Amino acid sequence: MSAQVAQPLWSGPASPSWADAESLVMEGIYEGDAFAPKTIHLPEVPAAPEVPMLPMLDNLLPVFDMRAFGSEERVTAIRVTDTVRISCKAGRRPAGVLLSTTHRYPRGMMAELVLKATGSGTFGASLIAPGSDAPAPPQGLLGTAAQLRLPPNGAADIVLTCPGDGGELVLHSINIAPLPSASTARGTWVWDAAEAVRHPEAFARSLAARGMTEIALQAPRDPIHVPAVASALARNKIDMLLVEGDPGMTSSAGLEIAVARVKRIRSAFQRAGLPLPRLELDIEPYGAADYAGHPGAAWGRWAVAIKVLSDVWGSRVLVDVPWWMLQVPGGEAALERAQPVISTIVVMAYRTDPHAILAIAEPWLSRRTPVKIAVEVGPVAPEVQRIYRRATQGELVMIGDRAALFETSAPRPGADAVFHLVRETQSDPRRISFRGREEGLPTAERTVVPFLRSWPNYTGFRVHGLGEGAP
């Protein structure tokens, strides 16, 4: 009786470069007790460290270095606990303190730098390009507080100039104060339209009671009743978008099905004599079977699908994207290819710490395209990273243009390369979703939204996972 051949837990296309690698990184999630790979890639080559952004929510004084200047040597500056103490003698020549930092300011943000102090005398306060001289007169005066407009290019030093007759100053804090624009949308997704179809008016009122001003609704299989839902929502001052999406749309067959469905939805609104709502696409190419081996190709097909469905709908579309899209092979190129048909980018900034949400949002908001920022309150699986090293026996196998993952380590005769699991790390779901700590969402939202609204292209806040049907 022949021995039973072990079946792989997963298999998929392989990149030719993997066969010569000394180690591989596999990322995925646990579905129940089974590990589900999402991506495989070579270890990242350490890049030059990026200039860190100033922590927008904190007192920035600790991250600034100080240096006294002036030919008359009439300035002393020292740190005392959490303050900077500046003493200036009387003098005729310019003198003061230069505050510089290795961090950068948020790009494209409409905000002010607020300096708070106590002391005697009125000091000049200005933001200057690194290496340039202080302006005369200064941009602001600092006795107890000064407000300086943030630079658009992300780099500036603070220069505090002494009064001619001398003075003392204790600088207590430097903070970023946002200059919010007009109010923006607050929305969510509804993936099951059954309750909306059965009771459209009650559904709309329940959303309005929760402060929603827009929803992205996935239409039921038969979209004939969706126009009535749109009308009920409009009476409650809620804008309805239609959301469609599936990883299968990155395949030819799946895209063909999506085109037919979008055409049916469009026809339902035309028959009802109602204007077409905006279309939002949540395609998630990283859920496709071949994404692990060829993420760049999958994102390329994502761009094709976005352009095709936008053309069928007859207008530009919103797109839902993971916050890390710009960091993966092919992600930024795909976004650039689809950009002409994208009206708004909805960034899934799935973090619970306000600092992390703002750090994720800033690169997207600096791109000029209208952006919405979304957080998660639904259940999420822990994000898993595994490191595999080349070995004589192992769980991960390369044979030709295919890769396979097995449950146990073993010799793999005939394989081009074998890798053994050496380390696994898991993320904490509490860092990703407010699930189980929903009370933290209002606080986080109140903290980050005024800052997000300081970008001219920010258009709204989204909460994913509030529940199917009526919230």
Confidence category of residue 3, pLDDT binned at 50, 70, 90: very low
Strand partners, 217: 190, 242
Mean predicted confidence (pLDDT) in 80-89: 95
pLDDT at 289: 80
Q: Map out the domains of the chain with their CATH numbers.
A: 10-47+383-426 (no CATH), 61-178 (2.60.120.430), 185-382+427-464 (3.20.20.220)
pLDDT at 172 over 90: yes
How sure is the predictor about 470, in pLDDT bands with cuts at 50, 70 and 90? very low
What are the DSSP calls for 335-366, one per residue? HHHHGGGEEEEEEE---SSHHHHHHHHHHHHT
Q: In what order do the strands lie in the sheet with 123-128?
A: 65-69, 96-100, 157-161, 123-128, 140-142
pLDDT score of 178 more than 90: yes
For residues 85-106, average pLDDT? 94
Structure confidence at residue 265 (pLDDT) = 94
Query: Hey, which bits of 143-249 come out as E strands?
Result: 145-149, 157-161, 167-178, 185-190, 214-217, 239-244
Query: Does residue 5 register a pLDDT over 80?
Result: no
Share of the chain above pLDDT 90, in %: 75
pLDDT(471) > 50: no
H-helix or E-strand containing 195? helix 194-198
pLDDT in tens, 192-233: 999 999 999 999 999 999 999 999 999 988 888 899 999 999
* pLDDT band at residue 2 under the 50/70/90 scheme: very low
Q: What would the mean pLDDT of 125-137 be, rounded to a whole number?
A: 90
Q: In what order do the strands lie in the sheet with 34-41?
A: 10-13, 402-411, 393-399, 417-426, 383-390, 23-31, 34-41
pTM of the full structure:
0.91
Measured distance CA(127)–CA(95) in Å, rounded: 16
